[in-house]
Structure formats: structure tokens, C-alpha cells
């Protein structure tokens, strides 16, 4: 069964450093998403991406965040200058039509 692949599974970074989280969506999917879950809290929407541009973003997704689809297969989330409160599990998802997501297994980001 096709999967959404996220790397790395765990990342530890120092406060103020840039971090890039990587995702390989399912190959024929057209819609891509990032969600995050701070420990003990709800899974929250960050951003959706379609046709090579952001289609929707939450208030969490400020200027410190950016997304990119640098080639035909990868979908990345960059955090420019990490803060302690960015520590969370980050989930990538993709969808053929915008309905019915497939989620990856997540990247646990720890900012120290």
C-alpha cells in the first residue's frame, strides 16, 4: 500500500537554528499538508499546498515557516529560526483530491 514517508523520524536542534523536515507524498497525489501535535495537545493544521502554491495556512504558520516542493517528489517544511515552542510531532499528509488524507508517521522535533 502506498505510504507517505517522512524523514527524519526524530530531530533535535538548538534554538535559533534552521530545520528542514522532509516528506515524500504518494506519487499521484496533488494536495499536500503539514500538521503538528505539541505533546499533550491537539493535532493542528499548519498549511496546505496545491498546484505549487500555498492554498491555505493557519495563524501558526507565520514568517518563520515555509514550504517547498523542490522537485517532483519531495515536500519540505522549513522552520527558519526554531523556538522552544516549535517542539512537536510534525505530520505530513497528501491527498489525491483534497478528500481523504494519507498521513506519514511523523517527525518528532525537539528544540533545546
Partner 1 sequence: AQSVTQLDSHVSVSEGTPVLLRCNYSSSYSPSLFWYVQHPNKGLQLLLKYTSAATLVKGINGFEAEFKKSETSFHLTKPSAHMSDAAEYFCVVSGSSGYSTLTFGKGTMLLVSP
- Would you tell me which residues interact with partner 1 (CB under 8 A)? 4, 9, 33, 35, 41-45, 48, 56, 58, 91, 93, 98-106
Nearer to partner 1 among residue 11 and residue 16 (C-beta): 11
- Assign 86 to helix, strand or coil: helix
Nearer to partner 1 among residue 14 and residue 27 (C-beta): 27
Cβ 81 to partner 1 shortest distance, Å: 25
Residue 73 and residue 24 in contact, taking contact as beta carbons nearer than 8 Å = yes
Count the alpha carbons within 13 Å of 6 in the hemisphere toward its beta carbon.
Answer: 24
Which residues are bridge partners to 19 per DSSP? 79
Nearer to partner 1 among residue 3 and residue 18 (C-beta): 3
Cβ 37 to partner 1 shortest distance, Å: 8
DSSP H or E segment with residue 78? strand 75-79
Cβ 8 to partner 1 shortest distance, Å: 13
Cβ 33 to partner 1 shortest distance, Å: 8
DSSP 45-63: EEEEEETTEEEEE-TT--T
Amino acid at each position: 500500500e502506498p505510504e507517505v514517508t517522512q524523514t527524519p523520524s526524530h530531530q533535535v536542534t538548538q534554538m535559533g537554528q534552521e530545520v528542514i523536515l522532509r516528506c515524500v507524498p504518494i506519487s499521484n497525489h496533488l494536495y499536500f499538508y503539514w500538521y503538528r501535535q505539541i505533546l499533550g495537545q491537539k493535532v493542528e493544521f499548519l498549511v496546505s499546498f496545491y498546484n505549487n502554491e500555498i492554498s491555505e495556512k493557519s495563524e501558526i504558520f507565520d514568517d518563520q515557516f515555509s514550504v517547498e516542493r523542490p522537485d517532483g517528489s519531495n515536500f519540505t517544511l522549513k522552520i527558519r529560526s526554531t523556538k522552544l515552542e516549535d517542539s512537536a510531532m510534525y505530520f505530513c499528509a497528501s491527498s489525491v483530491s483534497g478528500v481523504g488524507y494519507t498521513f506519514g508517521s511523523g517527525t518528532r522535533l525537539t528544540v533545546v
